[in-house]
Amino acid sequence: MAAKSASLIRARRLWTDTPFGEAAVSFFASRIATISFIVLVIICLGALLAPLIAPQNPYDLTKLSILDGELPPFSVGGDGFLFIAGTDDQGRDILSAILYGLRTSLSVGVISTSFALVFGLTMGLISGYFGGWVDAVIMRIVDLQLSFPAILIAMILLAVLGRGVDKVILALIIVQWAYYTRTIRGAALVERAKEYSEAARCLALSNARILFVHLLPNCLPPLIVIAVLQIGHAIALEAALSFLGLGVPVTEPSLGLLISNGQEYMLSGQYWLTVFPGVALLSTMVAVNLVGDQLRDVLNPRMKA
Amino acid sequence: MRMVSSILSALCFFGVAGLHAQSQDLKIGTARTSTSADPHFFLMNANDELRHYAFESLVDVDESGDPKPRLAASWKLLDDKTWEFKLRDGVTFHDGRKFTAKDVIYSICRVRANVSAGSFARYVSQVAGANATDPLTLVIRTRAPYPLLLPEFSLWAIVPAPEDVGDLDIAVDGCGVKSFPTNADFDNLKFAIGTGSYAYTAYTVGGAAKFKRFDRYWGERPAWETVTIAPIEDASVRTAAFLAGDYQLIQGPTPSALTRIEQDAKYKTANAPTYDVRYLMFDTAREPSPQVTGTNGRNPFKDRRVREAVSKALNRPAIIERVLNGKGVAIANIQGPETFGFNHALKAVEFDIEGARKLMASAGYAEGFGVTLSVQLDTEASRVGQAVAQMLARIGIKVQLDSLPTSVFFQRRSTGDYSLYSYTVGARTGEMGTSLRVLLGTPKTHPGFGNINGGGYSNPDLDRLLVAAQAEMDDGKRRALLEDANRVMAEDHALALIYQRVDTWAFNSTIAYQPSISGYTLARDARLARRDR
Amino acid sequence: MIVYLINRVGQSLFVLSAMSLIVFVGIYVIGDPVQILVSPEASAEEIAQVRRNLGLDLSLPTQYLRFLSGATSGDLGSSFVYNESAIVVILRHFPATLELALAAMFIAIALGIPLGVWAGIRSETFSAKAIMAASTVGASLPTFWVGLILIMCFAVYLGWLPASGRGATRSVFGVELSIFTRDGLAHIILPALNLALFKVSLVIRLARAGAREIVGQEFIKFARATGQSPARIVLGHLLKNIMIPIVTVLGLEFGSVLAFSVVTERVFSWPGMGNLLVRSLFLLDRPIVVAYLMLTVVIFVVINFTVDVIYTFLDPRIRFSAKAG
């Protein structure tokens, strides 16, 4: 027993000694951050497992019956089905719709941000490292992109592309990547001037090796922080686009679309159509933002003071 | 949770508390955003709604599709192609000028000269000659016998001819007029002058229009001193603004709020059927059909039995009750009973799931098939589309719903990309022939037919009846031809007609509002309610 | 300075032409505006006629070259829908959006700075934490949802303010503005509040960070030691020092406020540029969309340039050469 706990302590010590462990310890030092992290994990699990835990598949129109439309929470439908959070106008179970909507919203946020991060990162590294005309071309494109507000570009893109989850993701990648490129290029320029980079070059290491093995790890932490916060922005942007009628299709509503579909029912007191999805979106956003804030404090030494 | 609803019902109650009946001022919230104050500029409902305030036409179309006098007091046919109009005496424009036949000819010329995308020119294209035999007598010659002249003359407005305008010759391009006022001249109100019961006092493109009573109006004295009509496109925002007391009268309150509004003594609602009829259109032309799956290349919609099965699978009462909150009527004609040529013998297809399944089986589709249903991206179309998808699933047709922005929807319809789509049809001429022709006519063999026939439907019997009706000057015979055309359409299940839309208006109990078939929100239909208390 | 200017203008011209090309092609790909604009009763000849009149019968490259040659002389084409110069149509909608954005900025500053400063100098109190929590929640709420809630509360329930639309306007130097009439003010409060929501959170954060940094610094300690009242310290020293970053950031954000007003304008039926853009996008009114984007680029360039210039005046250490790259 004693030996076991001793080794456990040792193991924990070892774990906390790694840079990751250190960050984790200081991350969970804040109660608010811990709570939001747990909330976020629960939300993500709900979204991931939606097909397993949702009482109904809200996208399958054959399972819906408009005769069950607009039922208040805890109503029983025509075939004895219990609608815990009520139904929408099509007889869609709101709880299931929220779980699936969460899935759509989160995947839009996460997938678009990750792709934008990877692409933006690559472009930024290339630009910052090679300099010269490569840099000039990439940075002009970035300027082009950044001289417009994201929502405008996304609106135009979606007007061209049409509706669809994949199209929203594509539009969000396009509006986000330049942001990372700009950030990483700045960092890369700084890093390039540093000694280890010079040293690496003296050792005749390949450009690619210098880029990915030496530059990347040094630029990554601030980017991760930005990315986490950016997921929140992406989700909000998707919601706004869906509200304007340019986002996901009506048969696969995201949280934003659920809220926007349900808002007219507020006036008639059928609050469940918009309030429940609203609460889900709000908790997701707050959790993502709080986790992002804490990450920034932990990973960014400048902000610590 | 019950508390939330009771708070919300309280909201609706308090909303009106701060509102006092301003007897002489009417504020209207409409769903439509106009693009100009120019009545000849762009043919769209929003502009047309405003036209009814400041401008008038020669004739009107009444609730049963028959023409009735407006600025023309009477008319008669001199021969098949010559019409004589006696104009109303004592009519003045807002700027004091007297209305004469020359104004009518000038208006025809201006309508013709406008070649914008939303031009009214087609409504005067049949006019071969126009001359005034005296200031109040107008003779119009048409190119061919043209029974639709009067309904079409009800659609464009009379504007005053400038005093210095010379002789107007219809045969010449532009009638010899050097330049017509532009739509911008109307928007800044310099030329927005008509004979209507209200005169413009302010107009913002894309914003509100303001009117004041025209005291020298020839007809019934308007009830309101001033009228403001403001566009609010979103139904829930419009309803909220109404409940907040911003407007005394709104068109189309959000359906879900209707029960609340109807139960509240502070408010009233009124309904009127509209010209709009929603239908499902099948691709009956191609084999294989682009968006049909699981049929080994066969196009099921070429089979009348499948079309009938689809129609029978639609639970119209449920759609009307659940999706439209009761604001619709199941229908069997392509237009409602207010339209000339309505066939009263036809009955809407009954919901019959067993019958539908049998038809599917007899056509060889017992296992069903897959199809994409394309609808325009708006709330009603999307909701009806989802309901239709649910119902067709019950007879084995797996429907993938695709809701497209207006821009894309029309583009794809014109290129014939759809196997199944839903849209609405509604002709303001108040005549069946127009809708049947543009939607179901065969464009290849009949010019001007089938402009929006996105399913490639073609039926020689129907075409023949429509051609005959187009040249028939006798109203009785024409009515019979159109009734017969409707029967042919219904028996062939050319379309699955779903419902005729009913529009709703909500207004304060202090006013009385009786909407007209036009579907427009007009101040002349509203007056102060009599105080009984 | 002159080199910098030329650089800047050159860059902007590049951005302008690239963007116009993208939008031009993009909208061409979406669909045919004529199909939307003409009446269902229009015949094939009528449609062809309309297409000719709008210049849509030409090939795409020809259309674009035509547009470019017009653009160099300041003509961005005529709206398909309004039959007027696109730029005129947009500028007519501009004052409404501008005053909405300015009102939102004003609210953001008026609410954000006091709350942020309070949260900064009393950072350990409950109220400070509540302010920060509220700002996080505020930044997380979807704008359109908040808009509807605002309408429900203040217009429908309390009946204090009108729910939508723009109020009576008054001509100020030839521009129709609504903020100088009582009716107009009543109408602008809710949408401005809605639009300000994001920026309030931003200002609170900036003000808090600034206040925290400055509170610890020598000159504030000195001021306190000399016995100046807390209010005087806050007003005199603190605000002066935190205003510069806040004004800079807000200046840079102004363009995005203009752009994000799209959502607010839809919710409140505000007759501004955003509403116009959404309608034009749905109607494929290409000249309006292109002109709108051109105007946005110009506004952004002007804003960035102004901020740069102000910067150099405020902080002579910043050199133009350093920023030009």
Residue B533 lies in a domain: no
Three-state secondary structure string covering B5-24? HHHHHHHHHHCCCCCCCCCC
% of chain C at pLDDT higher than 70: 90
Phi, psi of B165 (to 5 degrees): -70, 140
Q: Tell me, yes or no, if B17 comes closer than 8 A to chain C by beta carbon.
A: yes
C241 phi-psi bin (left φ>0, alpha ψ -120 to 50, beta other): alpha
In this structure, of A69-83, A173-187, C122-136, the range with the lowest mean pLDDT score is: A69-83
To test the contact with chain C by mutation, choose from A244, A276, A284, A304 the residue with the greatest count of C C-beta atoms within 10 A, namely: A244
Structural domain includes residue B328? yes
First-last CA distance in chain A: 42
CB contact under 8 A, C41 and B427: yes
Smallest CA–CA distance from C266 into chain B, residue = B234
Cβ atoms A276, A189 nearer than 8 A: no
* The two three-digit tokens of residue A117, written as one number: 């991060």
Alpha-carbon distance C208 to nearest alpha carbon in chain A (angstroms): 13
Instruction: Compute the average pLDDT of residues C129-143.
Output: 81
**pLDDT confidence of residue A2:** 53
Is pLDDT above 80 for C325? no
The domain limits of chain A are 45-62+86-303
pLDDT at res. C322: 40
User: What number of CA atoms fall less than 13 Å from residue C210's CA on the CB side?
Assistant: 25
- Contact criterion met (CB < 8 Å) for A267 and B408: no
- Give me the mean pLDDT over the B102-110 stretch: 94
Residue C246 contacts residue C109 (beta carbons within 8 Å): yes
Q: Indicate the pTM of the whole model.
A: 0.81
Contact A90 B383 (CB under 8 A): yes
B191 and B176, same domain (yes or no): no
* A289–chain C Cβ distance below 8 A for any pair: yes
Could you give all domains of chain C from N- to C-terminal order, each with its CATH number?
A: 1-80+289-325 (no CATH), 86-283 (1.10.3720.10)
- What is the per-residue DSSP string for chain A? -HHHHHHHHHHHHHHHHSHHHHHHHHHTTSHHHHHHHHHHHHHHHHHHTHHHH-SS-TT-GGG--GGGTTPPTTEE-TTS-EETT-B-TT--BHHHHHHHHHHHHHHHHHHHHHHHHHHHHHHHHHHHHH-HHHHHHHHHHHHHHHTS-HHHHHHHHHHHH-S-HHHHHHHHHHHHHHHHHHHHHHHHHHHHHSHHHHHHHHTT--HHHIIIIIIHHHHHHHHHHHHHHHHHHHHHHHHHHHHTT-SS-TTS--HHHHHHHHGGGGGGT-THHHHHHHHHHHHHHHHHHHHHHHHHHHH-HHHH-
Q: Could you tell me if B497 and B429 lie in one domain?
A: yes
Q: Residue A305 has what pLDDT?
A: 34
Each residue of B29-41: pLDDT tens digit? Answer: 998 889 899 999 8
What would the mean pLDDT of C243-267 be, rounded to a whole number? 80
Per DSSP, chain C holds a count of helices (H) and strands (E) of 14, 2
Q: Give A265's contacts in chain B (Cβ within 8 Å).
A: 256
Confidence grade of residue C1 (pLDDT, cut at 50, 70, 90): low
Residue contact A267–B240, C-beta within 8 A = yes
If asked whether residues B362 and B507 sit together in one domain, one would say: no
Residue B373, phi then psi, degrees to nearest 5: -105, 120
Residue that wins the pLDDT comparison between C120 and C85: C85
Beta strands in B345-446 (DSSP E): 369-376, 397-404, 420-425
Cβ–Cβ below 8 Å for A163 and B398? no
Residue B420 is assigned to a structural domain of this protein: yes
Reported confidence tier of residue B16, pLDDT bands at 50, 70, 90: very low
Q: Judge if B434 and B512 occupy the same domain.
A: no
Please check whether residue B519 lies inside any domain of the structure. Answer: yes
Mean pLDDT score, B300-327:
92
Which among B236, B245, B407 has the least Cβ separation from residue C31?
Answer: B407
Residue B87 above 90 pLDDT? yes
What confidence score (pLDDT) does residue B10 get?
A: 44
Please report which confidence band the pLDDT of residue B72 belongs to, taking 50, 70 and 90 as the band edges: very high
The shortest C-alpha distance from A260 to chain B (Å) reads 10
Taking CA atoms, what residue in C is nearest to A152? C259
Say whether C259 and A143 touch across the interface (CB within 8 A): no
- CA-based nearest distance C147→chain B, Å: 10
Mean pLDDT throughout A11-36? 73
C25 band by pLDDT with thresholds 50, 70 and 90: confident
Q: Is residue B370 located within the same domain as residue B436? A: yes
Confidence of residue B125 (pLDDT cuts 50, 70, 90): confident
Amino acid sitting at position A94: I
Other C-beta atoms closer than 10 Å to the C-beta of B161 total: 21
Of the segments A100-114, A159-173, B16-30, C28-42, which one has the largest average pLDDT value? A100-114
Write the CATH number of the domain with boundaries A45-62+86-303.
Answer: 1.10.3720.10
B178 and B195 assigned to the same domain: no
The pLDDT-based confidence of B6 (bands split at 50, 70, 90) is very low
Token couple for C102: 């300015």
Which residue among C42, C83, C275 places its CB closest to the CB of B41?
A: C83
Q: Do A271 and B260 touch (CB under 8 A)?
A: no
Mean pLDDT confidence for C75-87: 86
The pLDDT score that the predictor gives to residue A278 is 86
Pick A69's closest partner by Cβ from B1, B236, B322: B322
Percent of chain B at pLDDT > 70 equals: 95
Point out the least confidently predicted range of A59-68, A168-177, C227-236: C227-236
Higher pLDDT, A243 or B482: B482
- Is the Cβ of C234 closer than 8 Å to some Cβ of chain A? no
pLDDT digits (tens, 9 = 90+) for C175-198: 778 878 878 888 888 899 889 888
- Do B476 and B439 share a structural domain? yes
Give the lowest-confidence range in A211-215, B82-86, B294-298, B433-437.
Answer: A211-215
Q: Look at residues B182, B214, B235 and tell me which one is the last residue of a structural domain.
A: B182
Read off the CATH number of the domain in which B333 is found. 3.10.105.10
Verify that B108 and B80 share a domain, yes or no: yes
Q: Chain A residue closest to B317 (CA)?
A: A67
* pLDDT (0 to 100) of residue B428: 78
Between C128 and B215, where is the model more confident?
B215
First-to-last C-alpha distance (Å) of chain C = 13
Tokens of C115: 């709350």
Query: pLDDT at position B15, please?
Result: 40
Q: Which of A144, A149, A244 is closest, CB to CB, to C255?
A: A149
What is the tally of structural domains in chain B? 3
Q: Give the per-residue SS3 of B453-493.
A: CCCCCCCHHHHHHHHHHHHCCCHHHHHHHHHHHHHHHHHCC
Q: How large is the average pLDDT for residues C14-25? A: 79
Q: Are residues B349 and B426 in the same domain?
A: yes
Residue C316 pLDDT exceeds 70: no
Amino acid found at C183: D
Domain of B88, CATH number, reads: 3.90.76.10
Q: How far is B30 from chain A (nearest CA, A)?
A: 17
Q: Are B394 and B352 found together in one domain?
A: yes
- B401 interaction partners in chain A (CB closer than 8 Å): 61, 249-251
Contact C144 A243 (CB under 8 A): yes
Lowest-pLDDT choice from A197-206, B473-482, C251-260 = A197-206
User: Residues A113, A116, A120, A123: is their CA dihedral positive or negative?
Assistant: positive
Q: Measure B308 CA to nearest chain A CA, in Å.
A: 21
- Same domain assignment for residues B247 and B331: no
The answer to whether B229 touches B28, Cβ cutoff 8 Å, is yes
pLDDT of residue B7: 46
Residue C165 and residue B232: Cβ atoms within 8 Å?
Answer: yes
What residue in C sits closest to A264 (Cα-Cα)? C148
* Complex ipTM > 0.85: no
- The CA distance from C152 to the nearest CA of chain B, in Å, is 7
Structure tokens at B237: 């925002």
What is the residue-wise DSSP string for C81-113?
TT-SBHHHHHHHHHHHHHHHHHHHHHHHHHHHH
Dihedral, CA atoms, C54, C58, C60, C62, nearest 10 degrees? Answer: -100
| pLDDT at residue B389, rounded to an integer | 92
Where in the sequence is the domain holding B195, given as residue range(s)? 25-33+186-273+503-528
**Does a structural domain hold residue B10?**
no
CA closest to C144 among chain B residues: B237
Q: Of chain B residues 340-379, which have a CB less than 8 A from chain C?
A: none
Is residue B491 one of the residues assigned to a domain?
A: yes
Count of pairs with CB atoms under 8 A, one residue in A, one in C: 100
Question: Which stretch of A27-31, B150-154, C2-6, C276-280 has the lowest confidence by average pLDDT?
Answer: C2-6
B 428-457 residues with CB < 8 A to C:
434, 438, 443, 447-448, 451-452
Residue B9 domain flag: no
Query: Does the CB of A268 have a partner CB in chain B at under 8 Å?
Result: yes
- Chain B hits for C156, Cβ within 8 Å: 11-12, 14-15, 240, 243-244
Locus of tokens 């490129």: A181
The DSSP string of B227-273 is EEEEE--SHHHHHHHHHTTS-SEEES--GGGHHHHHH-TTEEEEEEE
Q: Output the domain CATH number for residue B257.
A: 3.40.190.10
**In terms of pLDDT, which residue wins out, A203 or C200?**
C200
Q: What is the band of A12 on the pLDDT scale with cuts at 50, 70, 90?
A: low
**B313 and B435, same domain (yes or no):** yes
The residue among B362 and C223 whose pLDDT is bigger is: B362
CB pair distance less than 8 Å for A89 and B319: no
Closest chain C C-alpha to B468 CA, distance in angstroms: 19
Asked if residue B11 belongs to a domain, the reply is no
Q: Give C214 or B78, the one with higher predicted confidence.
A: B78
